[in-house]
Every structure is written in structure tokens, then in C-alpha cells.
Amino acid sequence: MPQKELWERSPLRVFERAVGGGLGPGHVGIVLARAGVGKTAFLIGLALDALLRGRKVLHISTQESVETVRRFYDQLFKAMAEQLQIEDRAQRHLDVERNRHILVYNRKLFSLEKLEQSVGFLNQAAHFSPSLVIMDGTPRFEQTETWEMEGVARLAREWEAEVWTSSLVHREGQQCDGRGIPLAVARFDRWLAVVALLESRGDHVRVRILKDHDRPEVADLRLELDPSTLLLRWQ
Amino acid sequence: MPRDIHKIRNIGISAHIDSGKTTLTERILYYTKRIHAMHEVRGKDGVGAVMDHMELERERGITIQSAATYCEWDGHHINLIDTPGHVDFTIEVERALRVLDGAVLVLCAVAGVQSQSITVDRQMRRYNVPRVAFVNKCDRSGANPMRVAEQLREKLKHNAIMVQIPLGLEAAHEGVVDLIRMRACRFRGEHGEQLVWEEIPGPLRHEAEARREVLLDAASMHSDELTEAILEGRVTEELIWAALRRGTVAREITPVFMGSAYKNRGVQLLLDGVVRLLPDPTEVQNEAREVRGDQEITFVLSNSPADPVVAHAFKLEDGAYGQLTYLRLYQGRLVKGETLQNSRTGKKVKVGRLARMHASQMEDIIEAEAGDIVALFGIDCASGDTFTGGQRIALTSMHVPEPVVSLAVQAADAKSENNLAKALSRFTKEDPTFRVETDLETNDTLIKGMGELHLEVYLERIRREFHAQVTAGQPKVAYRESMTRAVDFDYTHKKQTGGSGQYGRVVGRLEPVEGEGFEFVNKVIGGTIPTEFISSCEKGFRAMLQRGPYVGFPVQGVRAILEDGAFHAVDSSDMAFQAAARGAFRQAYPQGRPVVLEPVMLVSVEGPSEFQGEIMGTLLQRRGIIVGTTEDEGFVRIDADVPLSDMFGYATVLRSATQGKAEFTMEFARYAPAPADVSAELEKRWAERRAAGEH
């Protein structure tokens, strides 16, 4: 099967079209969800989609080990290979691994400065410059300072990469703005191009777009996460 | 003398290579009065620590083979299973882990959690082994047990809870403050055998109280009784121990002990911890499978001496006393003079002599019961066999990886030839990852194993223990081949050469499947192939796997689906259908875009941050795929997938690139497609060989 057709079939295309053709290089997007709903899976889904299209992905974590993150990718790759009926899986898997780098920091040591250094180093030593950067759970939005968020946006522009982050939404008592974005996140509005929310609806998880670049209207998305594979699928 | 099973501890000591494991073991044996003098691993007295009883190990200062030894402490019977510290021998480690109920994870107070500790920890997780940690070498300069406990949390994700804090560090290290007893302990006497308990010194009081809070907090998660006692202010030592024990056995707490084995500090308190916190055999669930009729059922072993005997041979050893087989008893009782049956071979063996081993000395015993570890003499079996009273029971199979490296060996003369054969037959029994084969083209003897060092150690043993003069070739990687897309087949095997003919037709599909095996699926309906010939077809397909049609290496990851066929009432036979299946495979497989697969290793390199560039360079030069980087204070760890064929000699390269400051571990990860130049070369060679063979 030609590569093009392969990713035309992906539900990720629907998501992409809904947010005006994707996040776009130099922009920062965020996915919000309650604990355990599937933020990481959603982000890795985005990453795998990019990897299968030959793009380079940097995955940053301050919580999981390299091994754990990798295992998560492997599981989702397997599910995605089934979903999209990918042929020549071993070779494809190899390509995925070749184009991905997992960067793990001791939480206490993590800083934007350090991150900038590491990415510079990767570029120099391994000629690795990512076009998609996943910052899972980093930074922590409730404690984040404005200058830090500004820093993330600046890095996205410098790297000319899409940067996806995530944040927890608490069960109760969280104040939201008119669009449904928690205030803790909304205060960084000017640096966030896309805001997506994963909502648990009984046995499945629905994906909602709360913000789409500068468009006043957001698309009503008919996508959900498959509860068994945690992959995006049509409703 | 019947023993109380609740007072048995089967434990291992697992550690990074230089963290002082052997010294610790030696001290344990000394304090439990099993030995009466102490030596060091690289001892000046030339005696060497007792557990390292192989000459080669003595010379290298590392422990290669695990030996079981026992000792007694506080009325408890402790079987110590020495586990090797080198990763190339992971099968030894894993085999030892299988029979353990708990372990002591030894860590160096200076170096902390190193890459090898991570590998060992991963293995322990696989076998669900509860652990206590011992932070050794607190007397060394730069020792920082708090940082090590922190690393246990950060790097290994243990819920590490300190049950002690050091009483002085580096040269001033004199003992520990016990946070359960809330007393300080100093170790006096020539060998630290006198424990002097005293008040916690003023400057340490504050820290001790703060750490005790953390300890109580963690322990109370596992005991309501303790929680209540804390609220009411009547906490007792016993309540803390009980709660900690529950957390440890459930693998939710890793209590951290500390000291210096070399300076004789803290070992006795660690032993207290071992008997009080690690599980007894009844607290660990072990499963076995039994064949009854044509059914296989899984059941949990009872640990009861009253049930039929089930014993697992986890270790073979050829020593001064002849052949020894180490057994772990999971059920029943073993009595001298009785008969046992080897479940795998069906052979009966008589328990002639039963002993408990203490490294290379031994003690004869009359009987042993469930939960215990003993040695038998002169029994013919392979490591991993199960012994029973007659039932067909096998312990859940251990994870045995396929060998990935091979080496050709040649004996110099007839005598050596003979000795070599003896050595190889012994090693293959001892070590399931060590295999011997004959290269059909060159007639060379090939030895296969898990890595360069793995085979090197055996070569040295061949030379030293078996006095065989051998030369060895360059290590070679074990390639595999597979197909990448599905192909239909329809093949008729027909021969009419006078007499009875041969006829068989098979129709179906070959397709790639994940994993390392071969699958055969029978979907024939309506008897187009008679039932009795279905297995002939499977046999025919399987016959093709040993040497793949593509480059002549073993085929893996293929599923054959048999859907239809035809037969002839007279001319069809077992032979004919086997030939038809072989023909179908030969015809279809090459159209399935076959690929060459090479073994890929997961390599983890850890070193000071300033060498990050050099480390990455060495990996990229070896076709490595960098998986990830972990940055920590002053240290960096890089994980990469590297083809094994590029890893030969890596140790030397890494050492010189990093001034010896980085270290690495390597584990087999998977088979992955080899690059085009390798495939092309192998394809060419195979074509030439086949052409030569046809003439």
C-alpha cells in the first residue's frame, strides 16, 4: 500500500483538518484531561502519526523512564498497525525508532535552559532536529510562570517545530472560561494555538476542541479514543 | 529434624559488579558462623572469598556461577543463592531469581544506582522478587546513602524507605542509627562482632526523627493497627516490623539498610532485616503445570511437606565432589534412599546422597522438606528439569533467550578433542543458553551463546578445567530470515516412477506473523486432505525452517495456513504430503519479499555528563538507533538499539573514548531487518554455496 493512502485513512487526518490543517510549526498545543483518561496515549498517537510520515519526534518526560515511554509507543504502534493494516511492520517500526528520541529528566533538574541545551546537543551530535516535540506533563501548568510558557513558545518558534503539551484537569472546583478552558491554562492563552480536551463519557473518551488558532468557531469533532487500544477512532 | 517452613528464607544477593557483593556474602557467612576467617575477593592471602569457588572467578574477581549456601540467623534458616554480577550471564541470574523468595539489592554508596543495577532490577521485577536494599561502602570517600535511596526512587521507581541513617560517613563511618529501635549502633571488635547500642547522638536526633516520620508514614499504609498506634502514641518496634514486612512482601516498600561490609559495619542488622522482612516460602506463589491425560492444567504449589514431592533442578555443578544438582523443593519431602522421577525424561533416579552446601564444603543430611534448597549427588539431568514422585509436572518454563553469537572452536589434538567434547556436553547441561552445533559446510564445531564474554568465559573453562587446547574463530552473529508479506500457494507433488506413485496437493497461504516462532493453521474442510496427512504437511513446512530458502538461515515469524488440497487413494502418503508442503514453501516463500534479520541489542551506557557526546558518538558509529537520553545530576544514560554484529569489542572502544568513566550493559532486544548490504552479501554467499552443492 502506498504510504500516502496509509495515512489518509488515519483518524488523525480528521483531527488535523478540524484544527485548520494541524497545529503548524512554531506553535504550541495542549491536551487537557482528567487523570488516567489518556493524555499520554493521545500525544503518542500524534507522535506515531508524524513518525509514520517520516517526521522526527522528540518526546520529553520527567515522570516515566525511557523504557516505559518506549513500551507505550510499542503498544500503540502495534494497535495502529492493526487499525491501518500497515504492511512491512518490522521495517516501519524500525523507521519509527530511528526518527524518535526520548529525553528523560530528573524532575528536579528540568529547566527550559537545560532542554534547549539538550536539543542543541542532539542536533549537533546526532543531526537530530525534531519537527514535533511532545512535552508530556511538562511544564506543570498550575505552577508554571508566565515567562516559562513564553519560553516554550519561543523554543517552538526557534526549532520550527510543533510542540504538544498536556495538563491535568481536576475533577471538581476548577474554574473555566467561556470556552471551557480551565483558568490555570487559559492564562497562557496567547501562547497556545490549539487546546483539546479529552472527556470521559462512560465507556469511551471523546475528543473536543476548545480552541483552534484564531478561529472564533471550533469544529465539532466526531472522534473518540478506543478504550481498549487508546487510539483515535471515528465515532 | 523437621523445620518450621516459616523460618526459612531463600534469598539472593544481587548487585552491580563492584558494589562489594562477594565481601558482603563473606561477612554474612562469618557472622552466622559458617566460616571462621575472612578473605577479600581479590584477597592478598590468595584464598579468596568462599562463594567464588571457581578458579577463573578468583582470578577475575567476579562471581560467575551461582552457588547455594546456607546459614542460620536468629533461629532462621537462610539459603543464600549467589547470583553473578555480570550481565552477559543473565541466564544465571534469572535462573537464580526463579528459586528466590526475596533478595538483597546491594548498591554502592558512592556510585549509586548504575546501569547494571537497572538491568538486575528489571529481572527481579520480572520474577516478582521482594527486595531490601543494602547501601554498601559507606566508609568510602564520597559516600552518600541518602542520594542512593533517592536514586532508588527516581531511577528504579522503588518506594525506598530508609530504616537507618548513617552514624558518620566516609572515614568517620562507625555504624548506623536504627530508626525502628531509635538507637544508635556501633560495631566494635576486630571483626565488628560486638554491637554497642547507645543513645542517638544529639546532632543526629533531628534527622533521625524526621526520617522515622517518613518510615512510619510508609509503613502505616500497610497496617491499620500501626496507624492507630501512631495516633495514640503507643508505637512498638514489633508493630513497625510487621507493617514494614507486609509492605515489603507485597513489593510496595523497599526498606533501605546501610553500612560497610568491608569495614564490618551494619551486616548483622541487615540480617535482622532479612529474617524479619523478606517472605518465607509460603508467602510466595509458585505455579506448575501438570499433564493429566491429554490435558495440561496449571496449579499452585502447596509448600506442604505432606503433598507429593515437586523439586526443581536450578543448577548443576561439577566440582570436587563430582556432579552436584541443586534442587529447590516446592512441595513434599525428600528422603535419602527414595526414588524420584525426572518429569522431562521419565527416568527414575535414586536419592543416594543428600546434602546442604556451603560453597564448596558440604554437610550430609537425611531429609529435606518443602521450601528448602539442597544438593543431590550423581544425578543425570539438565538444569531446569523438574523431579516428582511420578506425576508429569513441570514448573512454569523459565524465560530462556535464544543464543545470538557463535564461535567456531577447534581442538589441537586427539586428547584435547576428547576433553573438548566432555566440556561441551557439561556446559550444555548447565546452561540452557549455551548450545553446540556442527557447521555443515566446514564441519567446525560451533558454540553459541548470549554474547562475546559469555563464550569467552566458557573458552577459558575449556582450557583450564578440562585441559583442552583449543583455538577459536571470530565471533559471528546468528542471523535469521523471514518474509514480509503474505503469499498464496497451490502446489502439487506428483511422481510416477513405476511401482507406487506419490501424490499430494496443498493449497493455502504463507504469511508473516509477529514473534520468533512458526505457526501452522489447519483450515481444511471436507476432507480434501485426509486428517492423517495434515500433520505430514506441518512436518513438511517445519522441515524448511532450519535453512531458509532466502539466505540459508533459520526462518522465523511465518504462519502457514493450509486451506485446501487433493489426494489420491493409492499414491498419497505421509512422504508425498511432506514433499508437497516443502515444495509449496519453496515456491511461495521467495515471493513473500524475504528479509534477513539480525539480532539487535538494547545497550545502555552510563557515564559522566561531560562524555555525553563521546558516548553518543560510539553508539552512532555502530549503526545504533538512539532510543533515549536520561539526564541526571552529573550523569547521563543513553539507551540505544545496536546490532550485535557491531558490538564486538565495544568495551575497549567505550573505555578509551571516556577515559574508563562510562560503563554499559547489553541485553538481547529482538531480531530486526538487517541493512541492504548485509542481506545482499548473505544472499550472494548462499547462492554460491547452493550452486557449489548442486555439482
Same topology between domain B406-477 and domain B598-677: yes
Looking at chain A, the whole-number percentage of residues with pLDDT higher than 90 is 24
Q: Is B428 helix (H, G, I), strand (E, B) or coil?
A: helix
Taking the CB of residue B451, how many other CB atoms lie within 10 A of it? Answer: 25
Give the pLDDT score at B83. Answer: 67
Q: How many CB atoms lie within 10 A of CB B418?
A: 13
The C-alpha cell at B519 is: 505457526
**B629 with A69: Cβ contact below 8 A:** no
Between B643 and B115, the higher pLDDT residue: B643
Please say whether the structural domain B5-283 has been given the CATH code 1.10.3720.10: no
pLDDT exceeds 50 at position B47: no
B155 to chain A, closest Cα gap in Å = 7
Q: Looking at CA atoms only, how far is residue B9 from chain A in angstroms?
A: 32
CA dihedral A181, A184, A189, A195 (to 10 degrees): -40
Nearest to A195 by CA among A174, A159, A167: A167
Instruction: Answer with the residue of higher pLDDT: B580 or B610.
Output: B580
Provide the shortest C-alpha distance from residue A39 to chain B (in Å): 21
For testing the chain B interface, which of A62, A97, A138 should be mutated: the one with the most B CBs within 10 Å? A97
Place of cell 476432507: B527
| The predicted structure's pLDDT at residue B596 | 93
Give, in words, the CATH class of B406-477.
Answer: alpha beta
Segment holding B167, helix H or strand E: strand B164-167
The packing angle between helices B115-126 and B90-99, to 10°, is 40
Residue B89 is predicted with a pLDDT of: 54
- Chain B: closest CA distance from residue A154 (Å): 23
Across B279-295, average pLDDT: 82
A:B CB pairs within 8 Å: 81
Measure B270 CA to nearest chain A CA, in Å. 30
Q: What is the pLDDT of residue B90?
A: 57
User: What are the pLDDT digits (tens) for A177-200?
Assistant: 878 888 878 888 888 889 888 888
pLDDT surpasses 90 at A149: no
Query: Is 50 exceeded by the pLDDT of residue B60?
Result: no
Residues 6+ apart with CB under 8 A from A202: none
C-alpha cell read off for A166 = 498536556
Which residues, listed in sequence order, are joined to residue B490 by a DSSP beta bridge?
Answer: B507
What is the model's pLDDT at position B64?
35
Q: Please compute the mean of the pLDDT values over residues B71-83 and round it to a whole number.
A: 84
Phi, psi of A67 (to 5 degrees): -60, -45
Q: Is A36 exposed, middle or buried (0-12, 13-18, 19+ CB in 10 A)?
A: exposed
Q: Is A104 on the interface with B (CB under 8 A)?
A: yes
B66 pLDDT higher than 60: no
The C-alpha cell 514433499 sits at: B579
Torsion angle, alpha carbons of A41, A43, A45, A47, to 10 = -140
- Residue B148 pLDDT exceeds 60: yes
> Does A142 reach chain B within 8 Å, measured CB to CB?
no
For the segment A10-50, what is each residue's pLDDT rounded down to a tens digit? 777 778 777 777 888 999 999 988 877 888 888 999 999 89
Residue B474 is predicted with a pLDDT of 85
Give the 3-state secondary structure of residue A11.
helix
Q: What is the pLDDT of residues B545-564, one digit of tens each?
A: 988 889 988 899 999 999 99
User: For residues A121 and B615, is the Cβ–Cβ distance under 8 A?
Assistant: no
Question: What residues of A are in contact with residue B631 (Cβ under 8 Å)?
Answer: 103-106, 109, 114, 118
| Residues across chain A | 235
Higher pLDDT, B368 or B396: B368
More confident residue, B627 or A87: B627
Residue with cell 572467578: B57
Residue A43 is predicted with a pLDDT of 92
Model pLDDT, residue B149: 93
Averaged pLDDT for residues B56-82: 66
> Pick from A90, A118, A128: which is nearest to B631 by CB?
A118
Q: Residue B359 pLDDT > 60, yes or no?
A: no
Cell of B606: 552510563
In sequence order, what are the beta bridge partners of B476? B406
Q: What is the pLDDT of residue B92?
A: 63
Strands across the sheet containing B295-300: B295-300, B287-292, B393-395
Q: Is the peptide bond before A130 cis (omega within 30 degrees of 0)?
A: no
Q: What are the beta bridge partners of residue B665?
A: B604
Per DSSP, what are the bridge partners of residue B601? B642, B668
Asked if B452 and B458 touch (Cβ cutoff 8 Å), the reply is no
- Quote the number of domains for chain A: 1
B164 Rama sector, left if φ>0, alpha if ψ -120 to 50, beta otherwise = beta
For the stretch B391-448, pLDDT in tens is 888 775 555 667 788 889 988 888 988 999 989 988 887 777 888 988 766 778 899 9
Tell me if A97 and B155 make a contact (CB, 8 A cut-off): no
Report the percentage of chain B scoring pLDDT > 70: 88
- Residue-level pLDDT at B442: 73
Which run of H or of E encompasses A199? strand A194-201
- CATH number attached to the domain at B287-395: 2.40.30.10
Q: Return the higher-pLDDT residue of B269 and A223.
A: B269
Distance (Å, whole) CA B504 – CA B501: 10
Q: Are B44 and B28 in contact (CB under 8 A)?
A: no
Q: What is the CATH number of the domain that holds A129?
A: 3.40.50.300
Which DSSP letter does residue B280 get? P
Domain extent at residue A122:
3-234
Q: Which three cell numbers stand for residue B150?
A: 533517592
B627, B666, B630: which is closest to A70 by C-alpha?
Answer: B627
Q: Is B639 on the interface with A (CB under 8 A)?
A: yes
Tell me the CATH number for domain B481-593.
Answer: 3.30.230.10
Residue in chain A lying closest to B153 (CA): A106
Angle between helix B267-277 and B237-249 (nearest 10): 70
DSSP, res B396: P
**pLDDT at A168 (0 to 100):** 81
Contact list in B for residue A107 (CB cut-off 8 A) is 154
B306 interface with A at CB cutoff 8 Å = no
Among A72, A75, A88, pick the best mutation site for testing chain B contact (most B Cβ within 10 A): A88
How far away is chain A from the Cα of B240, in angstroms, using its nearest Cα?
A: 30
Does the CB of B157 have a partner CB in chain A at under 8 Å?
yes
Class of domain B598-677: alpha beta
Q: Which of A65, A70, A121 is opposite residue B612, by nearest beta carbon? A: A121
Give the three cell numbers for residue A227. Answer: 478504550
The C-alpha cell of B533 is what? 496427512
- Examine the pLDDT at A99 and tell me if it is beyond 60: yes
Q: In the predicted model, what is the mean pLDDT of residues A90-104?
A: 90
Does the structure show a pLDDT above 90 at B180? yes
pLDDT band of B665, cuts 50, 70, 90: confident
The SS3 call for residue B522 is: strand
pLDDT for B584: 95
The DSSP symbol for A22 reads S
pLDDT of residue A147: 76
Contacts of A2 (CB under 8 A, 6+ apart): none
DSSP state of B305: T
Nearest to A210 by CA among A62, A31, A27: A31
| Per-residue confidence (pLDDT) for residue B303, from 0 to 100 | 86
Cell of B535: 500433520
Nearest to B594 by CA among B584, B585, B583, B602: B585
Q: Which of A178-192, B530-544, B591-605 comes out lowest in average pLDDT?
A: A178-192
Among B94, B99, B120, B108, residue whose Cα is nearest residue B151: B108
Model confidence at B145: pLDDT above 90: yes
| For chain A, percent of residues with pLDDT exceeding 70 | 91
Q: Work out the mean pLDDT of chain B and round it to a whole number.
A: 84
Residue B487 sits at the chain A interface (C-beta within 8 Å):
no
pLDDT over threshold 70, residue B694: no
pLDDT for the residue B401: 66
pLDDT band at B65 (very low <50, low <70, confident <90, very high): very low
**Hey, are the CB atoms on A103 and B617 less than 8 Å from each other?**
no
Measured CA to CA, the distance from residue B42 to residue B68 in angstroms comes to 21
Q: Does B64 or A103 have the greater pLDDT score?
A: A103
User: What pLDDT is attached to residue B258?
Assistant: 94
Helix axes B452-464, B414-430, angle to 10 degrees: 130
DSSP B46: S
Q: What SS3 class is residue B588? A: helix
Per-domain residue ranges of chain B: 5-283, 287-395, 406-477, 481-593, 598-677
Check pLDDT > 80 for residue A7.
Answer: no
